[in-house]
Amino acid sequence: FLRLAGVPFTGADTAGRSLCLLRVELEQVADIGVVTPQLGGGSFRYDPLPAKLVGKRRRLRLVYAARHDALVRAIERELGPAWPVLGGDAGLHLLLGLPPGCDDAALATAIQARGVTTRPLSLYHLSRRGAARGLLLGYGAVDDERIAGAFAVVAAEVRQAVARLHG
């Protein structure tokens, strides 16, 4: 809706520093009791806390910026800083470019077989013939700590596919 309303996702402040629109999560947590497992593990006991001991915490975090940065770092670490990557100014995906002749659909299938989901760029073309090749990498729904490991799987399959092209 922000895009439709013409709200810019990037800009600059008066000092010329780059600014980006980010998603921020604000969470309020209240500790109102204690749950204790019983011996044997078959049940638990709940004890409400006295009013004086009820605690409230607020957590604020920048969600997508950290995930974006973690994915970019993983790509640079695994494939090098010169590997073509498009996007990132807004949205929750990056596009990992692939060399000509690389079958992005077969590559996405091989990556999926290893438990990581990507989408081939050619899937979004009307005709597979002449379609650009690449992998759409989503990071919006992936926990920060899982990004590096998931991309290591992607990178291993990409390296194998490129080796087959040149082998």
If one compares 8 and 69, the residue with the highest pLDDT of the two is 69
Residue 73 has pLDDT above 60, yes or no: yes
pLDDT at 29 (0 to 100): 74
pLDDT at 62 (0 to 100): 61
CA distance 162 to 78: 14
Q: Please check whether residue 86 is in contact with residue 161, taking contact to mean a CB–CB distance below 8 angstroms.
A: no
The model's pLDDT over 125-137, given as tens digits with 9 standing for 90+, comes to 877 677 789 999 9
Distances from the Cα of 28 to the Cα of 35, 58, 59, 68, 119, angstroms: 19, 4, 6, 25, 35
The model's pLDDT over 22-45, given as tens digits with 9 standing for 90+, comes to 666 667 777 777 777 777 667 778
Q: Please check whether residue 30 is in contact with residue 55, taking contact to mean a CB–CB distance below 8 angstroms.
A: yes
pLDDT at 103 (0 to 100): 93
pLDDT band at 50 (very low <50, low <70, confident <90, very high): confident
Averaged pLDDT, 95-115: 95
Q: What is the pTM of this model?
A: 0.64
